[in-house]
Structure formats: structure tokens, C-alpha cells
Chains A and B, each alone.
Chain A
């Protein structure tokens, strides 16, 4: 651990110890305020564990909080305290997994509405059970616990949720959800199992919320579904997390503390005008701090940190270069079987047949040019190979294994990498993190310093040495294309799909680009390029497949197919230069 790490750990322990001592000096009102601060901090931090990086706004906080409260209400007479909390965590986990599996394919506004509906649904379900089976709407909780006990339990829980958040931020899971939050398609093509990553974090966040509810339940003595599943709680937590800054670990805390204090102040001084004053204050806050508290702090601190990050690494980069494509080189055994085979592939979008009876073989170490008029189905063919979409009929085989029905992240892990026609980089992440997204999720995954070293090597390979810490969104269009290639190479692929990667280069840049693609082939990569730049097709491709309206109309070496009468008529136009 670095000196800085030790300092942070010591500070965290000192703060926790100081907070733990609070009940020894405070009581009554102040202890109650402390409990409010802690439980909102735990909820907001837990909410941001999942919703912060993925940008999936969840309004299900009240659902899990209520489940926890009810677990306590039902079990507290039969089980000792620790077991009640374990049971609550287990119930929360099971519900989260069921809900997550069925809904995390929803995104955007649909997920928001669903999560809100979930809280309401569970409340109605509990109400129905209580009325019809238990026989009364409310329950009394006679747990032998004190305010001090609740405070300390919440404090431990807060330490755990912050610790979990800190660990996840360092982990591959943390990177996976950050990538998912920015571009789920890219995430899948980097080999990330997006569903599993989202599910894991959703469940973890739900467990913390459930346990919070279980700890808080004895505060009320009496609960009914309206109290335990209060939907306002969900909104308060979202507001706190967003006010503080949901993208950072301590952001939710920085949001929860001032807002809880504000609630207290308003309730104490303006009990009759609470809502209207609160609303006004919210509007003013959003106006003054559009990026939250953490945004304000970062604007002041960031320039210092950026400067500290830039460190020279180029000599090491060169040393690592040779190892980057080791995997591809391993497999260049004398083997004449095609790497990739398309057999009678068909894909229709509604009535439009985009790809129709397309068959071709890709030989090891060759560059295959997939050319044809705009709208002839070239990009659709790449999408089918990379698993971005599934075919209607036919078969695609990689090394003899059918891959047509595999999800995109499996195909990526098996060694098929791609770039996109309109570049897709993770704009808010640095170039290095973009490349590490490609390194961290294939087998064997690279992580930590090793991933950083290879990431730098790959960036220097595509000529981005000086942009390592630059956010990808600030790169020029061409540099973004380079970055995308580096990310694809990070997968150590056997097959590379380049969708108009050379488009938009001027003639001299084109020469450099062509040389780079050629070098990749020399190193053992097998490549399919979709390209309209005929100079590139002529000088790079061993073999061309020409498509028109979804079908293959010609196939062969470029010199022959480009002289084909049909190809000229459909694609090249009459030669005039």
C-alpha cells in the first residue's frame, strides 16, 4: 500500500472511531439526528453503487427498505438480532435477483417506471397478506434495542457500504459497469457480460438497502405498509445522491449530510411551509450547483490531480509490445481450415432483407475486403459475425464452432474484435481506461499494473502516446478511430472486423493506416475490412467479397473482382480517372 493509501486508511479509521463515540456524549435529539444522517448516507451510497455508474435511475429503494423493515417485524420475536439481519439480507438478495433478472434488460425511462412500480407492487402484496392472512394491517415491534444500538449498527453498515464501494471502484466489476453506463454495445463487444455485471451490483445495492430497513424498523415500534414502503424515501435518496454526485464514492455522503440537516432545519422552523420552502431550496441548489457538491470540489481539485497522473512510460511500452499479440501468434499453426465461415446467412429487418444467402470463408492470416454499394448489407454482415444482432437462418462458424447464437460478449471473448463505422469511444473515460476495458474481460483477463502497461503499449502502437490521460471525448474524430482500434486490439483477437476504419484519412494518412493494417496481418491477425477506399482495398486485400442488395455478387482477388462488369455497374461507376 502506498503512503497515501495508509494515510487514507488511517483517516477513515479515525473518523469511524470518532463517530462511534458520538452516542457517549450525545443523546435524545442529537442522537436521533445522527441516526437520520447515517441511514440516509447508507441508502444514498448503496443507491449510487448501482445507479451511479450504470445511469439506471432506480426508484426501488423504498421496496427494499420496506422488505427489510418487515423482515424485522416478522422475525424479531423468534430470532436473535444478528440472524434477523442475515435473514433480511438474504430476502433482499433473493428479491433483487428475481427482479434484476427479469428487468435489467429494460433501460432508460422504462427501468425508472418499472422500479417505481415494483415498490408499489410489493407494498400492495404485503398489504394483501397482512389483511387477508395475518389479520391486521399493522404490526408492533418489541425489539429490545436502544437508539445507541441502532446508531452503532448503522455506523458499521456505513463503513461496510463505503468499503464495498471503494473495493468495487478498484475492481473489474467497477470498470465493467462504468463502461456499461457509457455504451452498453461497446461493453458487450469488449467481452463484458453486461447482464451479470448489472445484476451483481443491483443485488449488492439492494442488500444494503434491505439491511438498513431491518436495522431501522425498531425505531417505529409500529409499522404498516404505508410507513415501511413510503415512496417519498426513494425520491429523497435519489435527490441526495445526485445532489452530492452519484459518480463518486463520497458524493452521496456529501449530498445526504447537508440535505438531512436542511430537512431538520425546515421541519423545526417552518413546519407548516416545509414542502414549499424545500422545493424552492431544491430549485436554487440545482441552479447554483448543476454538477453537485462533488462537481464543485472537482472543478477546484482536478487540475492538480491531472498533472500528477501524467508520467512517462514509453520505454516499458516498447518492451511489452512484442507480447501483445501473443495469443494470435500461438494459434498460427500450419492449419488450412478457415478461421471463420459464413454459410447461407440471412437477416431481414421487417420486410427488408439486409443480408441474403451470404456465404464466404475467411482463411487464417488473410485480409478479406467486404465491399459493395451503400446499403448492400456489409455492416449488417459484420454485426451478425460479432453478435451485435442475431441471424434469421444460416450458420456462422469460428474455428469450426457455431457462434451465430452466442451473445456478443462470448464472441468477443473467443477472439473476434471490431470497430464501429461511426466511432464509439467512452467519451468520459480516459484513453487508457478505454483500452483497459478491452484488456480486462477476455481470458486471461489483465488487470492492475499489467493492464496499464499493455494499455500504454497499445496506445503508443496507434500513435496516441501523448493522449493517455485525455478523456476520449476530447479527441479528434481520427484519434477516436485510432483509440477504437487500440481497444479492439486489447482483446488479443484472432479475427478483427474493421468497419470503414480508413475512411476520412487524407491520402498521406491513408498510407500510414494501410501500413498499420498490413503490420497487424504480419503479426498473425486475420482481418475483414469494410471499406470504400479502393486504394486500400487494392493494396491490402487478398480476397474480396462484393455485396449488392444483401447478396454476394462477386468474389475473388481484388484485381479481378474490381474489373468485373457487374461490380463496376453496381459499385464503382464508370472509370473516369
Chain B
């Protein structure tokens, strides 16, 4: 599991995160809801080591071996090595490389090299369309297919914890549903998933727990079902009027 405590982060003088604490355990999907600019992406970047946390933060991970590692202030590539993989917003794929090369790059960490072949099979099993496109240059693929590559590449590093920043962005409705089903399947393999999503409706449906974040602070937490029925959440994050429009 991963444990984050007292994390703050600043861009210059602007405070993007203010004392955030949360946990994600194995086999659980945790969703973070909040408006744009609330600090969700920053939180994932801090955990992934891409943005430094202010002094006083603590980030720990304990893997299947039950050894607890302190990740506070660790370099990004070592965090991957410790079992945390980030799928960044905007995908961050290598456009000039093929699907196969992108995926194999994900298995670069030492922890993932031994099982590269079996992990590749696992990823292709989760995303069958990639199987027939292994030799295609990723730049020429559609947005949704690129998103599959990005998630697949993260899984190739054999993570314990998967951080996903708006994975449904730009996916068609049908593929969006498939994506959430795939995330539920990844969970059964024992991974912990920390999910930042704007698609609150569908993400709450598969989430075990959720946190609400506002102006860099955690302002609410609960189980997926409880949050879904919370009127405050509905108003702020589910867009009660949007639900109404869709139903009419």
C-alpha cells in the first residue's frame, strides 16, 4: 500500500497542495474528485516524484514483500523502481516509436525486466486492439488507442500502485466503459489504483473509496457508494443539472 501524509506543494508562491494525506491499499481503486485547478494532477505528480513536496511531507510504500520504503524526496525513476507507475495527463507517449517499443520501454526498471514477456502478454490481453498494431508508430494512432498504449506502458513496469491522470479523456463512450471494466480487472490482480477523473459518475461506480479535493485540501472522503449519494458531491461533481439534461 502507499501512504501519503501532510503533503504540500508550491509553484513559486502559489500553494497547489495544502497538507494532503491519503492511503491506497492493494486491490483497491481510490478516486480523487475535484474541480480543475484543485490540485489533483499536482498530487499525482508529487507522488510520482515529478513535483517536489514541501518539507514535512511523508510518502511510504510497502509492497508485496511487506518492506516499507520511504519515498519522500526520491527521484522519479527510483519511485517507479519501488512500484509506483504514473500515466500522465495528455498521455506522454513516444510518438515516433512503435507500440511495441513504447510498451517495452515501460519494462525498463529492473523490477520489471525478468517478467517482460509475460507482462507484455498480460497488457495485450487487457487491450486486444494493441495486439494487431504492435508495429504501428504511435503518433499515427487515434487518441483512444494512444491512451491504451500509455496505460499499457505503465503496467509494463509491474507496479504495485498505478496512478492514472484522467485516463478517460478523449475516449468514446464505449471505450470509456471498457476502460473502467479493465481497471476493475487490474484491481483483481492485486494492484492499488489511484484515479483522477472528471467522469465522476463512472469512476465512482468502480471506486472502493474516494476523496474530494478543493483548493489543494482534502475536504471530504468516503466509500464510492456513499459519495455517489452525497447531495453535496452530486451538486459539485456530478452536475445535477447535467444528469437532468441527460435523462430528459
- Per-position binary interface string of chain B over residues 89-132, scored 1 when its CB falls under 8 Å from any chain A CB and 0 otherwise: 11000000000000000000000000000000000000000000
> Does B219 sit at the interface, judged by CB under 8 A?
no
How many residue-residue contacts, CB under 8 A, span A and B? Answer: 100
Structural contact, B246 and A374, CB atoms closer than 8 A: no
For A, the interface residue count at a CB cutoff of 8 angstroms equals: 37
Whether A532 and B241, one on each chain, are in contact in the complex, defined by CB atoms closer than 8 angstroms, is no
Instruction: Name the CB-closest residue of B to A478.
Output: B36
- Write out the residue numbers on chain A whose beta carbons fall within 8 Å of the beta carbon of B236: 508
A477 at interface, CB cutoff 8 A:
yes
Partner of B177, one of A504, A507, A576: A576
Which B-chain residue is minimally distant from A373 (CB atoms)?
B172
Find chain B residues with CB under 8 A from A571 CB: 172-174
Beyond A373-B144, A477-B90, whether A573 also contacts B242 by CB under 8 A is no
Taking a contact as CB atoms under 8 Å apart, the answer to whether B237 and A374 are in contact is: no
Given A371, A479, A508, A577, which contacts B201 in the complex, CB threshold below 8 Å? Answer: A577
**Number of interface residues, chain B, beta carbon within 8 A:** 39
State A573–B169 Cα separation when bound (angstroms). 17
Q: Which residue of A lies closest to B148 (CB)?
A: A374
Contact with A along B65-90 (1 / 0, CB 8 A): 00000000000000000000000011
When distances are taken between beta carbons in the complex, the residues of chain A under 8 Å from B50 are none
Known: A422-B90, A571-B172. A504 touches B242 (CB 8 A): no
User: Is B175 in contact with A534, judged by CB distance below 8 angstroms?
Assistant: no
Q: Are B241 and A476 in contact (CB under 8 A)?
A: no
In angstroms, Cα B140 to Cα A379, docked, is 12
Tell me if B30 is interfacial: C-beta within 8 Å of chain A: no
**Whole-angstrom distance between the Cβ of A236 and the nearest chain B Cβ:** 34
Interface check A298, CB cutoff 8 A: no
A507 partner, pick from B145, B169, B173, B242, beta carbons under 8 A: B242
Question: Is A538 an interface residue when CB atoms closer than 8 A count as contact?
Answer: yes
Q: Answer yes or no: B19 CB below 8 A from chain A CBs.
A: no
Residue in A374, A421, A508 whose beta carbon sits within 8 Å of that of B239 in the complex: A508
Query: What is the CA–CA distance of A572 and B246 in the complex, to the nearest angstrom?
Result: 14
From A375, A421, A479, A511, B242 is in contact (CB under 8 Å) with A511
Q: Provided the pairs A372-B172, A422-B90 are in contact, do residues A476 and B36 lie with their beta carbons within 8 angstroms? A: yes
Please tell me which one of the listed residues B34, B170, B241, B246 contacts residue A534 in the complex, with CB atoms under 8 A apart: B246
A535 at the interface (CB under 8 A from B): yes
In the complex, which residues of chain A have a beta carbon less than 8 angstroms from the beta carbon of B64?
Answer: none
Contact with B along A398-429 (1 / 0, CB 8 A): 00000000000000000000000110000000
Q: Which of B90, B143, B176, B177 has the most CB of A within 10 A?
A: B143
Q: Given the complex, which residues of A lie within 8 Å of B172, measured CB to CB?
A: 371-374, 532, 571
Choose one: A373, A379, A506, A538; the contact of B174 (CB below 8 Å): A373
Contacts of A527-558 to chain B: CB distance below 8 A: 532, 534-535, 538-539
Q: Which of B143-180 contact A (CB under 8 A)?
A: 143-145, 166, 169-178
A500 on interface, CB distance cutoff 8 Å? yes
Contact of B37 with A421 in the complex, beta carbons under 8 Å: no
B161 CB to nearest chain A CB (Å) = 23
A392 at the interface (CB under 8 A from B): no
Contact A349 B140 (CB under 8 A): yes
Interface presence of A510 (CB below 8 A):
yes
B173 close to A505 (CB less than 8 A):
no
Could you tell me which B residues sit within 8 Å of A by CB distance?
11, 33-37, 41, 89-90, 140-145, 166, 169-178, 198, 200-202, 235-239, 241-242, 245-246
Chain A residues packing against B (C-beta within 8 Å): 349, 352, 371-376, 379, 421-422, 474, 476-479, 500, 503-511, 532, 534-535, 538-539, 570-573, 576-577
